[in-house]
Chains A and B, each alone.
Chain A
């Protein structure tokens, strides 16, 4: 369904890839939230472009909702959460900096490996964008696993969702408006529930660092 050229697709995916890499490098929660909103904005712009090109009102509606929910409302609530609990700095990671970079490089190399080459049949004209989208999927999961902060984990999951949406955009796999709306509604509810849980976690543990959660021990 998308109408971007291979170069534009690769550029679009590179921005998303760069945003998730910078999420790893950032020390501040504000930076991570800003990078997530950039990711969501890029996806919304791509959807807007496609909707203009193919004259689809339903796709334009979806693009507007993506912009509102993921690029505006969700970051707004995340900023509110950070200010309320004064957690400007993100929690530490389980792996140190150099090891993290090595893992990121390995995940990117894995997505470009011959194992995944056969997936290019989904989008033969996409250039190098498809393996990059796959890399963002793996790296987003690693973001959830490696970070100790609740907010980082939330952003990791939302980044994973953005990665999957970008993969579907590259391959032209966007489903019709109905399921897209359902998924957006689902994500909206998820964000709301996750924010409520984050507040509950802060209230009980005095921190948004998951390493403070030590109550679940084998009895």
Chain B
């Protein structure tokens, strides 16, 4: 297990350094190209940076997490080995989805993430996990096939013109002005419904709470903190093409519709939740809705929407990793069974509390700023959606505060031993929360340039 863990952590460090080089190249030159077949632009650089940071932390955390599970005889060594293979296949597929220059290959890569994560979700081989994985597989397969249909409609002008090769994003954008408006609208609807299933937009979200809550904690952090962003990136890329073809109004209205629906519906579910992992999963849907709302409002709202994705990824990943510590300690995912976390798991408890406050939109953390900015961006042109979103935020805040206070304070059961599980179970969470707090108060100029350029067209 030690050598397996060392390989996993070593690979993650290498990935982090490589991606850092790529991102610095993008900031300096505007794009990173690898022999024309792989490319990273400003938007891709933001998503890939989130991917590598969260995946590095999840990999490191997995070493300690699986070690404890092996000691408790929940899994054996061969399962742990399968886990790391599937984990890195999953990460590889996400890298490819972000970096590919071709929409069809992006679709294949995102489908590959579904296939690799299906086994990770059913990792514990329990009936509930298998049920969650099956639902995930079926619903996402339908969604991605509808997305594939949308891609084919976008590629129609090229195929009908006799073009035989792989159509790149650049070529798609260059030819967008000549697209048939009705077909473009239908194509984008299929894209947002199809890839939106993967993002978790309501009403295509029904697979997400089960899948994210049944998976091992580090996988949940990757599913919520990264994979949703990769799927969101796919929708954004096609939004860019659609905007060039028929103007921004159509796609923005769709983003506002799905965003608002996701925020409102999930606000209720968060409030009534009894299972903390499911609550985190519902929260992911809600926050993807907030980001969608930001891109729907456009301009400063889009900038805030992208910032929101960053903050959400950092906070949610930290929360799911903390949830792993809580599950190992309390052996339950029910909130009523988790009391006195601040005494039993002091460090995890504090990190959990900070991350939850961030997620609830408490000032002065980043998510408060982004939610405020998004609502400000939309208030003049879309006052009603802004009011509805604001009310939903209040509901989410009340629900999250209620649940977190219940879990953090009170008297823990005496038989639960106090203390953290180990450095590898806490250090990744500390690093994620440190990034979260730092970025809430300080944004390096290079990062600001990156984010500004990434949302210029939205």
Give bound CA distance, A204 to B155, whole Å: 43
Establish whether residues B156 and A164, one from each chain, have CB atoms under 8 Å apart when the complex forms.
no
In the complex, what distance in Å separates the CA atom of A172 from the CA atom of B163? 12
Interface string of A76-108 (1 = CB under 8 A from B): 000000000000000000000000000000000
Inter-chain contact B183/A118, CB cutoff 8 Å: yes
Q: Which residues of B contact A137 (CB under 8 A)?
A: 149
| B residues near A168, Cβ cutoff 8 Å | 152
Whether the pair A201, B108 counts as a contact (CB closer than 8 A) is: no
Name B159's contact: one of A144, A175, A197, A200 (CB within 8 Å).
Answer: A175
Residues of chain A lying within 8 A (CB to CB) of residue B130: 197, 200-201, 204
Residue A126, interface by CB 8 Å: no
In the assembly, what is the distance between CA of A88 and CA of B331, in Å?
A: 41
Q: Is A174's CB under 8 angstroms from B134's CB? A: no
A183 to B155, CA, bound (A): 15
Which residues from 1 to 32 on chain A have a C-beta closer than 8 Å to any C-beta of chain B?
A: 1
**Partner among A122, A176, A219 whose Cβ is within 8 Å of the Cβ of B166:** A176
Q: Which residues of A contact B165 (CB under 8 A)?
A: 176, 178
B180 pairs with A121, CB closer than 8 A: yes
For A215, list chain B residues within 8 Å (CB).
Answer: 126-128, 131
Question: A86: shortest Cβ distance to chain B, in Å?
Answer: 20
Which of B127, B135, B142, B183 has a CB less than 8 Å from the CB of A119? Answer: B183
B403 to chain A, nearest CB (A): 13
Docked-complex contact B118 and A179, CB < 8 angstroms: no
Chain B residues contacting A182 (CB-CB under 8 Å) are 104-105, 108
- B160 CB–A CB distance under 8 Å: yes
B133 on interface, CB distance cutoff 8 Å: yes
Report the minimal beta-carbon distance from A174 to chain B, rounded to whole angstroms.
Answer: 7
**Taking chain B's interface residues, is the majority helix, strand, or loop, or is none over half, making it mixed?**
helix
Complex contact A173–B156 (CB within 8 A): yes
Decide: A193 near B118, CB < 8 A? Known: A144-B142, A150-B134.
yes
Q: With A173-B155, A197-B118 known to touch, is A160 a contact of B131 (CB < 8 Å)?
A: no
User: Counting CB contacts under 8 A, is A68 at the interface?
Assistant: no
A164 engages B152 (CB within 8 Å):
yes
Chain B positions within 8 Å of A176 at CB level: 164-166
Query: Which among B115, B122, B127 is the interface contact of A189 at CB below 8 angstroms?
Result: B115
Say yes or no for A157: interface residue by CB 8 A criterion: yes
Are A179 and B104 touching (Cβ within 8 A)?
Answer: yes
- Cα-based distance from A182 to B153 in the complex (angstroms): 18
- Collect the chain A residues with CB atoms within 8 Å of residue B104's CB: 175, 179, 182-183
Does A161 interact with chain B (Cβ within 8 Å)?
yes
Contact B159 A173 (CB under 8 A): yes
A137, A144, A213, A216 interface centre (most CB from chain B within 10 Å):
A216
A99 to B175, CA, bound (A): 45
Contacts of B152 in A (CB 8 A): 164, 167-168, 173, 175
Separation of A160 and B133 alpha carbons in the complex (Å): 20
Within 8 A of B (CB), among A184-201: 186, 189-190, 193-194, 197, 200-201
A121: nearest chain-B partner, CB-CB: B180
Q: Smallest CB–CB gap between A4 and chain B, Å?
A: 17
Contact of A219 among B138, B148, B274 (CB under 8 A): B274
Q: Does B453 count as interface, using CB distance less than 8 angstroms?
A: no
The answer for the CA separation of A196 and B278 in the assembled complex, in Å, is 26
Q: With A189-B115, A193-B115, A213-B127 known to touch, is A157 a contact of B142 (CB < 8 Å)?
A: yes
Is A39 close to B, CB under 8 A? no
- Give the contacts of A39-60 with B (CB-CB under 8 A): none
Query: Which residues of A are found within 8 Å of B132, using beta-carbon distances?
Result: 216
Is residue B137 within 8 Å, beta carbon to beta carbon, of the partner chain?
A: yes
B376 within 8 A of A: no
User: Complex: how many Å from CA A149 to CA B223?
Assistant: 28
Nearest-neighbour CB distance to chain B for A157, whole angstroms, equals 5
Q: Give the Cβ gap from B2 to chain A, nearest Cβ, in Å.
A: 30
Residues of chain B within 8 A (CB-CB) of A194 are 137
Q: Is B243 interfacial (CB-CB < 8 Å)? A: no
Asked if A37 CB lies within 8 Å of chain B CBs, one says: no
Q: Are B333 and A205 within 8 A (Cβ)?
A: no
Alpha-carbon distance between A107 and B122 when the two chains are bound, in angstroms? 35
Name 7 A/B residue pairs within 8 A (Cβ), A-sorted.
Answer: A150-B134, A174-B159, A175-B166, A183-B148, A193-B119, A197-B130, A216-B128
Known pairs A183-B104, A219-B275; list 16 more (Cβ under 8 Å). Answer: A118-B183, A122-B160, A137-B149, A150-B134, A164-B149, A167-B149, A167-B152, A173-B155, A175-B152, A178-B165, A189-B112, A197-B118, A200-B122, A200-B125, A204-B127, A218-B278
In the A-B complex, the 9 residue pairs with the closest CB atoms:
A215-B128, A179-B104, A213-B131, A118-B182, A219-B275, A215-B127, A182-B108, A173-B159, A204-B127
